[in-house]
Structure 1
Amino acid sequence: MTATSALALLRFDGDRTIGHDLVDPASPVLSALDLAATRGDGVFETISVGHGHPQAFEAHLARFVRSAAKLDLPEPDVDVWRAAVLAVAAVIGPVPEAFVKTVLSRGIEGGSSPTGWAYGAVAPDHTAARTRGVHAILLDRGFRSDAGAAAPWLLVGAKTLSYGINRAAAREAAKRGADDVVFVSTDGLLLEGPTANVVILRDGRLLTPPLDAGILPGTTQADLFDWAPSRGLEPLYQPLRPRDLLDADAAWLLSSVRHAAPINAVDHAPLTMDRELTDAMNDFLSARTA
């Protein structure tokens, strides 16, 4: 039996994760005092699921652990979380595209245990973004590309629940008649989108900003870079500036559920799209079984 959504609640013994229970996804399960709701004090991952197979699964779990460490949260037991994700994916069934979102919060304020859950659902239809592309605007992120090393409390490279800035950026894009955002550091380097990594094509090379530029390491981007040589493309991490994006042969925003969305314009300036390569990227990403 399949469903359009499913929810697993993690069980804890103090800080230790000990199991999970499948519950009705429509049931009220989160306390109004949980720090996930009141402070955004937690971490998450969104794992794409293709035909029942979680994609980039181990990379997502590893990043989940790294993000938790940056917030001084209890270390997630990846075996328990893996089982919860698989249980949720099994309820949804082998639909072409779904996702499971794992969340770990510090728990109820003043309590002694964290809170965790894995929620899954059939994915939205991203055909339009993959075929017609997205119009992106450049926005100042407000700090230097090396800010993470100098100020670790900024939690650069952690996938946290504190998404107020990312949501505000998306609203700003909509106000300017655009679909998405690419952040730029105060020292003039391209970073990432609010929910995606930036990749550009130039002279047969796929380029993305280096991980030390203050961006979240992308699981989808990493898989795509592993695939690139099979298409005769050289994958490289290197510093990029806005001019590199504007002069690119093609460019994409890569994310776990939307996959490869070609950028069709930057700040209202048209950008060339490579439809054949985009289709090949998305075919590869959709077909992953791990």
Structure 2
Amino acid sequence: MAWRFALMIDPVAAQSPQADFTDTFTAVDPAAPALTVGELSTQRGDGIFESIGVVDGHAQEVTAHLDRLAHSAALCELPEPNLTQWRAAVLVAAAACGPGESVIKLILSRGVEHGPAPTAWVTAAEASDFSRARTEGVAVVTLDRGYPLDVPARAPWLLLGAKTLSYAVNMAALREARRRGADDAIFTTTDGFVLEAPTASLILRRGDTFVTPAPNAGILHGTTQLSLFEHLAARGFDVGYETVSASSLPQADAAWLVSSVRLAAPITAIDGASLAGDAALTASMNAYLLSPRD
């Protein structure tokens, strides 16, 4: 990954009337040390983040990402972020991205143990090349996430609806998928329902209806999925949220993993069973996702 920019943020109160945040930003060398050894984001993964796709210097779906950052902060009992300040930081980072595809990351940490809190920063880097996944697709396996469908309501302290920095399980799931000969994974509950992928949302097509698992089981509500549903609805398709059984996955007419940087990757197989694709529709989805979206 080629780093392009890094910016430390001195967070201001959410309700601050401040209009110019320039003096709250400090540009730093993205290749140089910037965090202290007591930083809780690195010691405990105690923080939240967002990844924003950037196309030719335009940051995509900024409002949706900032809203989700605020939602994650509330779930994690972090200070409420000043979204005007964060939006200003995103614009500064986007200006440093240049042509092509990039990714901006927003990170808000609980701070330093027994020290200043919170810690906040923004990075910008060149995005990986996902052209093959977008055109040739990905094979997936289903992996048990280890809890039943109703656990988020019973155990909100698990923070299952927050986008936290604690991604060790997500990365382990991707390694397990590759050990099984697949490219990615779809998490399922112990009682047989579909959740999401480790770093993406799932969209299924049944005829002219597109569905995604209902975000009531600790599923992270995907910004790209929301945007695609608006696009598909505008084209006359039906879209909706369902509690999807894992056993019904192979019966889908088509399926995609969608995320802010990889965009729409068609699923070619689930647990070794081939799944039909729709190359033309996938291409139109990605053309839309690569267009400027606010």
Shared fold, TM over 0.5: yes
- 1:244 and 2:248 aligned: yes
Instruction: Tell me how far apart the structure 1 counterparts of residues 222 and 48 of structure 2 sit (CA, whole Å).
Output: 15
In structure 2, what is the equivalent of residue 184 of structure 1? 188
Q: Is the 8 A contact 1:16 1:74 kept in 2?
A: no
**One of 103, 109, 112 as aligned partner of 1:105:** 109
In structure 1, what is the equivalent of residue 9 of structure 2? 10
**One of 127, 131, 136 as aligned partner of 2:135:** 131
Q: Residue 25 of structure 1: SS of its match in structure 2? A: coil
- Aligned AA (1:233): F
**CA shift at 1:232, angstroms?**
2.6
Instruction: Tell me how far apart the structure 1 counterparts of residues 31 and 256 of structure 2 sit (CA, whole Å).
Output: 35
Q: Which moved more, 1:268-277 or 1:236-245?
A: 236-245
Instruction: Tell me how far apart the structure 2 counterparts of residues 15 and 206 of structure 1 sit (CA, whole Å).
Output: 37
Instruction: Tell me how far apart the structure 1 counterparts of residues 278 and 182 of structure 2 sit (CA, whole Å).
Output: 20
Q: TM-score, normalised by structure 2?
A: 0.94
1:217-232 aligned at under 5 Å gives the runs 217-232=221-236
| TM-aligned CA distance change 1:64 to 1:13, over 3 Å | closer
Gaps of 5+ in 1: none
Q: Is the 8 A contact 1:206 1:233 kept in 2?
A: yes
Instruction: Tell me how far apart the structure 2 counterparts of residues 61 and 71 of structure 1 sit (CA, whole Å).
Output: 15
**CA shift at 1:213, angstroms?**
2.6
Q: Is the 8 A contact 2:13 2:81 kept in 1?
A: no
Q: Is the 8 A contact 1:50 1:289 kept in 2?
A: no
- 1:71 and 2:55 aligned: no
- Aligned AA (2:33): P
CA offset digits 1:75-102 (Å, max 9, x no partner): 1111111111110110112x23111000
| TM-aligned CA distance change 1:249 to 1:13, over 3 Å | closer
CA offset digits 1:129-163 (Å, max 9, x no partner): 00110010000011112211110111011000001
Q: Is the 8 A contact 2:14 2:82 kept in 1?
A: no
1:40-55 aligned at under 5 Å gives the runs 40-55=45-60
**CA shift at 1:243, angstroms?**
2.8
In structure 1, what is the equivalent of residue 263 of structure 2? 259
In structure 2, what is the equivalent of residue 115 of structure 1? 119
**CA shift at 1:4, angstroms?**
5.5
Q: Is the 8 A contact 2:56 2:97 kept in 1?
A: no
**One of 58, 64, 88 as aligned partner of 1:59:** 64
Q: How many matched pairs?
A: 287
Gaps of 5+ in 2: none
Instruction: Tell me how far apart the structure 2 counterparts of residues 272 and 96 of structure 1 sit (CA, whole Å).
Output: 30
**CA shift at 1:16, angstroms?**
9.4
Instruction: Tell me how far apart the structure 1 counterparts of residues 13 and 233 of structure 2 sit (CA, whole Å).
Output: 46
In structure 1, what is the equivalent of residue 158 of structure 2? 154
- Aligned AA (2:25): H
In structure 1, what is the equivalent of residue 216 of structure 2? 212
Instruction: Tell me how far apart the structure 2 counterparts of residues 48 and 217 of structure 1 sit (CA, whole Å).
Output: 16
**CA shift at 1:12, angstroms?**
3.9
- Aligned AA (2:199): T
CA RMSD across the alignment: 1.7
- 1:35 and 2:40 aligned: yes
Q: Is the 8 A contact 2:144 2:188 kept in 1?
A: yes
Instruction: Tell me how far apart the structure 1 counterparts of residues 196 and 293 of structure 2 sit (CA, whole Å).
Output: 26
**One of 263, 277, 281 as aligned partner of 1:273:** 277
Q: Residue 227 of structure 1: SS of its match in structure 2? A: helix
